[in-house]
Structure 1
Amino acid sequence: MQAETTVLRDCGWIISWNAAEERHEYMQGGDLAFRGDRVLQVGGRYEGPFEHEVDARARMVMPGFVDLHAHPTFETMLKGYTDEVGSPNFYQSSLYEFLFLFELDEEGMRASNEVALSELLLSGVTTLCDISVPHEGWLDMMAQSGIRGFAAPMFRSGRWFTRNGHSVEYAFDEPQGRARLETALSVVDAARAHPSGRLDGVISPAQIDTCSEGLLRDAAAEARARNMPLQIHASQSVVEFNEIMRRHGRTPAGWLGELGLLGPDLTIGHGIFMDHHDWVAWGARNDLGLLAESGTTVAHCPTVFVRRGISLRHFAEYRAAGVNMGLGTDTFPHNFVEEMRNAIYVGRTVSGNSKGPTAQMIFEAATVGGAKALGRDDIGRLAPGAKADIVLVDLMHPAMRPVRDPLRSLVFSAGERPIRDVYIDGRQVVAGGRVLGLDREAALARVEEAQARSAAQVHKHDWAGRPADEVMPHALPFARVPAPAPAPVPEVASGAAEAEA
C-alpha cells in the first residue's frame, strides 16, 4: 500500500530546523507536507500530489517534544498525596521516607499509564522514555497510544530504607539484581522488535546507589552490544552524593566516569547534586567538565524537585559548560509545557538572571536535546527526511493572543490548552484536543480505585506504621460539623390559649 501525503497548507507559523546552523527557526506562512512517516517539505508552496489537505492558517506547526525521563506507570496515582511531602532529615528529598509507601498492583499501573500517556500526548509529547517496572501489557499500551516509546525497565541489586526517619540503610541482593537485568533485557529486545515499529528500549539501572559495580558494568556492556541508550538516576539527593563518596571516594559523576559509563549514550536522570552545588559544599569543580567532555546528557525534571525546594544549579550553567540537556516530566501532572515553563522560572530564580535560561534554550532541550540523548537525528525537528512527528497549536486560542511570538505565548501563557492536533509517524493521535487511541476518562476512574487500594496499605510500608492520612495529611483541616440544634417549641397565641382554658 502506497503511503499517503498530507499537506498542512498556509501555516500561520512553522518552527523549522536549519541544519546548516543547527537551530530552530520561525517561518511565517508556507506549507508543510509529509508522506507516510516522513516530512517531505517545510516552507514554500507544495505543488506535488496529495491525499489530504489541512487548512493551517490559524496554526503554529512545531516538532513534537521528547520527554526524556518519566514514570507514567506510577506517578499519576500519587496526586493529592505526595504533592507537599519532603523529609528535612534527608535534605528535603522525598525519596527515602515517602517514595515506596505506595505499592501499585498491575491494574493500577495500566490505568496510571493510560492517564499519563493521554496527558503527555495532549501536551505535545511525541517521544517518551518510559522508566517503569515491567508489567503485563506495557509495550502494547505504548503502541496503542501511538506514541514513539522507549521502554526503560528498571532493575537494581539493592534497595534503600529507613528504620527511624533520619538515617538511610541499604539492603543488597545481587542474584535478584541479575534476574531483574535479564528481565529488562528481554523487555527492551521485545520493544525493539514490536510490530508497531515505533518502540525501542533503554537500559536503565535504577539508581547509582542501589546498583553494584558489577551490575553497572554489565548493564553498560549490554546496552553497547545492542547500540541502545543508557539512563540512570544519579546526583538526585545529598544523601546519595554522600553515600557514593563514602563508598568510593568519588562524586556520583566521578564514579560513573571511573566505571566507564559516561558517554554520549548515557543520560543521567536529574544530575542536580554535582560538586558545584552549594548544598554539598564540595571544594572541587570537575563534574560538569566530565559530563561535557564525555557527551553525557542530563535529563532535567524541575517540577518534582522544586516542590521540595530543591533545584539544579543551574540550567544555563550546564549549557554554558557544554552539557547536553534534555527535559522530563518525572511526576504528575505529565504536562510537558508546564515542565518547560517551570524549568525557565526555576533556572532564572536560581541564577538570578532573566536570560538564563531562555525559551529558546528550553525548547532545544525539549526537542533536539532529548533526541540526541536517544541517539536520534530524525526526531525533535521539522526538516525534509525527519520523522513526521508534528504538533499543531491553535493560534486563535485566547491564551495565545496577541500572537507576537507564538513559542513564548505557548510556554509562558497558554500551556498545553491550545494544542489541538498531534501526528506521530504521520499518523494522527490527537484530533481537536482529543486523544484518539486511549480512553482517558475510564482510566481515571480505575486510577482512583487503585489509589484507594494502595493508600489503605501505606501503614505497612511506613517506618513508624503511620496511616496515609497521618503521613500525608490534607492541605486543609476538616471542619467540625456542628450538632443539630434542638427543634424549636411552637409558640401558641395568647388568645388561643385562653380559649382552650
Structure 2
Amino acid sequence: MTKTIIRNAAFVVAFDEATGGHCYRTDTDLAFADGRITAIGTVEEEPGDAVVDGRGMMVMPGLVNIHSHPSSEPLNKGFLDETGSPGLYNSSLYEFMTILRPDAEAVPDCVEVAYSELLLSGVTTLADMSVAHPRWLQLAADSGLRVVMSPMYRSARWFTRNGHVVEYEWDEAAGEAAMAEAFAIIDAAGADPSGRLTGMVCPAQIDTCSADLIRDSHAEAQRRGLPWQIHAAQSVVEFHEITRRHGVTPIQWLRDLGVLGDTSIIGHGIFLDDHPAANWHTREDLAILAETRTTVAHCPTVFLRRGIALRDVGRYLRAGVRMGMGTDTYPHNMLEEMRNVAYVARLMAGSPRTLKTTDVFDMATIGGARALGRDDIGRLAPGARADIVMVDVTHPMMRPGRDPVRSLVYAAAERAVHTVFVDGRKVVDNGQVLTMDYPAAAERVHEAQKRTEAAAPGLDYAGRPVTAYSALTFPSYSEAS
C-alpha cells in the first residue's frame, strides 16, 4: 500500500494514549494511507510513496468546529459588527438578523466563503447548522471538508414590532414537516459517496421549538445514533421567555424534557441561572450540564461584539462540563476564535490562570470530536483519520517559536497555515484553497450584500434604511460641507 510521508516535521502535535491528551514530538515523521494515519515516528520509505518535506513545519490535527452557520453569516460583515438592540439586552437576533438575510442566489456564495475561511484556519470537520438550501449537499461534498450536515427547523418564528418586545408566530405542523425534510437531508448525507458527510439533529432554538418537537427530535437522534444540538441560554430575552412559559431556566427545562446527555450539545449555554444578567433564584444549571455530560458549544466572538460573554470557560471545565468550540459568525476563523476563547475567559475570571492554551486546543480538537461521537478525528494517532494541518513555523508571525501552538493561536492564526489534508486529500496548499474559488465567491457576496441592504427597509417593522442602525464608520465626504 502506497503512503504519504511527512518527513522530518519540526513538531508533531501527537495524541498520547497514555495521558489522553496531545503532546509535542519533534523532528519526526508522520505517514498516512487510504485516509488514515499509519505511523508517527521514523517511517521507512517504500517504492511509490509520496514524501512531503516537513522541515520548518508543525503538523497538528485538523480542528473540529461543532457550531457554525455558513449559509448566512459571511454576508453580515459590515452590517452587524457593532449592532445590537438596546431594548433587547443588546442581542441582534430579533430585530436585525431577521431582515439582514442573503437572498437565495447569495446562499451558495456565502457557503463557499465560509467553507474556505474554515479550511484556511485549519478546520477539517464542520457542523454546518443551516436552513436547508438546494445546493447544500453538493457544496459540502465538493469542499473537501468533513461536514456534519445539521439542517435546522423550528415550530415558530420570532419577530419584533417595536424593538423591545419579541413575539412568536407558531406553526407546529410546519415544524414537523421541516423536521422530516431535515432527516431526509441527513439520510442523503450519509449516502454521499465521499464518505465525509454525516448528520446531526438540530431543532433550531429552545424558544422557537415546541416541547414535542424537541422531545421527538431527540428520540429520533438517539434511535439513529446521531448527535443532537439546540441553541439555548443564548440571550437574556430567551432566558426570560422560558422562565415565563415554564417557571424554570432553559437548561432546567431541557433537563425536564429528558433531552440532555452525552450526545447532546447546547449551542452557547451562556445564561445559566447563576449568570449576573439572569439573576435567577436557583444555582443548578452548571451542575446539570456536568452531571448529564452535555457538551456546550462555545462561540465567543459573536457575543463579544454586543458586550456579552459566558462566565467563564475555565469555571465550566472545572465543574466538569464538556466543552467544544464553533465559529458562530464571520470571520469563520477557528484560530481567531480560539484566541478569543482564551482571552475572554481570563477577562471574565479576572485571572490568567482560569484557562490554559492546552484547554483551548483540546476544546477545538478532542472536545469537539467527542461531542460528535468520534474518536478518530481531532487527534494524530495511528488509525485516526488523516485530517492534518501543516503550519509554517518559520513564518515571521510564528517567531519566536518556543511554543508553536501558542504562536499560532495568539499571533499568526491562519497566516501560517500552509497545507491541509482531509481524509488524506490535500485541500489547502501554500495557503490557498484548492477545492473552491474563495476570491470569486467573496466578490459575489459583496454584490449580494448590496441587494440585502436595498431590501431590508421593506422587511423592517419601522421601514428604516440600514444606515439608521448600522451607520458607516465615517460619513461620506461632501464638498458642500
Q: Does 1:312 align with 2:301?
A: no
The equivalent of 2:169 in structure 1 is 171
Does the CA-based 8 Å contact 1:234-1:252 persist in structure 2?
A: yes
Q: Does 1:468 align with 2:466?
A: yes
Greater displacement, 39-48 / 141-150: 39-48
Aligned pair partner of 2:126 in 125, 128, 133? 128
Q: CA deviation at 1:326?
A: 0.6
Q: CA deviation at 1:104?
A: 2.3
The TM-score, its normalising length taken from structure 2, stands at: 0.98
Unaligned runs of 5+ in 1: 484-501
Does the CA-based 8 Å contact 1:7-1:50 persist in structure 2?
A: no
The equivalent of 1:492 in structure 2 is none
Does the CA-based 8 Å contact 1:33-1:46 persist in structure 2?
A: no
Aligned pair partner of 1:431 in 419, 429, 452? 429
Q: Distance in 2 between matches of 1:190 and 1:481?
A: 59
Q: Distance in 2 between matches of 1:467 and 1:324?
A: 43
Aligned pair partner of 1:44 in 21, 33, 42? 42
Aligned pair partner of 1:233 in 227, 231, 251? 231
Q: CA deviation at 1:276?
A: 1.4
Q: Distance in 2 between matches of 1:39 and 1:106?
A: 40
The structure-2 alpha-carbon separation of the partners of 1:419 and 1:284, relative to structure 1 and needing over 3 Å to count, comes to same
Q: Distance in 1 between matches of 2:48 and 2:370?
A: 32
Q: CA deviation at 1:86?
A: 0.7
The equivalent of 1:490 in structure 2 is none
Q: Does 1:297 align with 2:295?
A: yes
The equivalent of 2:476 in structure 1 is 478
Q: Does 1:264 align with 2:262?
A: yes
The structure-2 alpha-carbon separation of the partners of 1:355 and 1:46, relative to structure 1 and needing over 3 Å to count, comes to farther
Query: Helix, strand or coil for the counterpart of 2:468?
Result: helix
Q: Does 1:368 align with 2:340?
A: no
Q: Distance in 1 between matches of 2:53 and 2:113?
A: 30
Aligned pair partner of 2:10 in 5, 9, 12? 12
Unaligned runs of 5+ in 2: none
Moved runs in structure 1, 4+ residues, more than 3 A? 44-50
Aligned pairs for 1:94-109 within 5 A: 94-109=92-107
Aligned pairs for 1:147-226 within 5 A: 147-226=145-224
Q: CA deviation at 1:47?
A: 5.3
Does the CA-based 8 Å contact 2:31-2:43 persist in structure 1?
A: no
The equivalent of 2:246 in structure 1 is 248
Q: CA deviation at 1:482?
A: 3.6
Q: Report percent identity of matched pairs.
A: 53
The amino acid of 2:440's aligned partner reads: A
The amino acid of 1:421's aligned partner reads: T
The TM-score, its normalising length taken from structure 1, stands at: 0.94
Aligned pair partner of 2:322 in 317, 321, 324? 324
Q: Distance in 2 between matches of 1:168 and 1:134?
A: 25
Aligned pairs for 1:69-148 within 5 A: 69-148=67-146
Larger Rg: 1
Q: Distance in 1 between matches of 2:48 and 2:342?
A: 40
Greater displacement, 3-12 / 371-380: 3-12
Q: Distance in 2 between matches of 1:270 and 1:49?
A: 50
The amino acid of 1:417's aligned partner reads: R
Q: CA deviation at 1:232?
A: 0.5
Task: Report how many residues are paired.
Answer: 481
Does the CA-based 8 Å contact 1:8-1:56 persist in structure 2?
A: yes
Does the CA-based 8 Å contact 1:106-1:136 persist in structure 2?
A: no
Query: Helix, strand or coil for the counterpart of 2:161?
Result: coil
Does the CA-based 8 Å contact 1:121-1:435 persist in structure 2?
A: yes
Q: Distance in 2 between matches of 1:81 and 1:74?
A: 12
Q: Does 1:339 align with 2:326?
A: no
Q: Distance in 2 between matches of 1:5 and 1:249?
A: 59
Q: Distance in 1 between matches of 2:479 and 2:121?
A: 41
The equivalent of 2:438 in structure 1 is 440
CA offsets 1:337-373 (integer angstroms, 9 cap, x no match) = 0000011111100001102211111000000000000
Q: CA deviation at 1:239?
A: 0.8
Q: Distance in 2 between matches of 1:46 and 1:177?
A: 56
The amino acid of 1:236's aligned partner reads: Q
Q: CA deviation at 1:453?
A: 1.3
Q: CA deviation at 1:106?
A: 2.3
Q: Distance in 2 between matches of 1:400 and 1:262?
A: 41
